[in-house]
Structure 1
Amino acid sequence: MQPNFSQKHPSTHRPIDLILPRLEKARRSKNGWIARCPAHLDKTPSLGVRELDDGRVLIHCFSGCDAADVVAAVGLTLADLFPPRPPGPERQFAPSSNPAFSPFDVLRLIQHEIHIVLAAACTALNGELTREDIERLQTAINRITDAIRLAGVKR
């Protein structure tokens, strides 16, 4: 029987409590949880899930699925990975002096993307990149750039 994902959740939800029950084979790991990725046919768990101290949930598919596709596959949105904002005036966010990820974590998470860039460079030297190659290269560059920003690295 498939779970009913259409139910509305209360505004006081914990994001981790929303996503974990919707994932197959979810189990604790060193830094959070690991589960089968619902966005692709996943035989062995490749989805990393981590809850931060402030309640935000970070997800990463080590096979390359986008976070939006992962949450959509279980009936959620990216907004569901964040705790509800307290009522009141709009909050102003300052750059964090304590980034969500350490530089080591960032390098570990983008390792696959770095390999994509290297493979594209080798392909470009030996021939022409296809449109699909160029699109995947752009995705890798975007992910690397986002990871650098999330790590708090300043240029």
Structure 2
Amino acid sequence: MSAAPLDHLLSRLEGVQSSGRGYRTRCPSCGGQSRKLSITEADAGRLLVHCFGGCETSDVLGAIGLEIADLFPERLPADTPAARHQARIAARESQWGAALEALEHEALIIHIAGQQLAKWHLLSIEDDQRLALALRRVEEARAILRPFRPNWRAKAVGA
């Protein structure tokens, strides 16, 4: 299935209404006018389907041409050493991107606080606490980036 399980399921139902963290609709198996069918997206894209009229999930799905497997996202490709290596690289690069964004934001906070202090303006308690948070976040980002140490020093010309 190419569409996300939630989109795929909702597209086959009529009268879908948002409700809390999920959706309510008429049950295609037992019918009626009330919205007895509850649909919630759980962790990792899995769907929870429950009919308060007592229908089995397989009957509900069968009425709209789906199967239990359609409630789950597509399986990942085979777990090979190369795939695990690529996944580690992608995760690391994602962490680096998030760390760099945090550094950019927190550097601005530190810069603003520095400007205030340079003008001999005292920081409020809230500003002082935010500055301390910025310093902690910079240290956290530094710890994430520490293993990544490319040769940042330019080589001497003619060396």
TM-score for the superposition, normalised by structure 2:
0.48
TM-score for the superposition, normalised by structure 1:
0.49
Larger RCO (CA within 8 A; separation ≥ 6): 1
Structure holding more helix per residue: 2
- Structure of larger gyration radius: 2
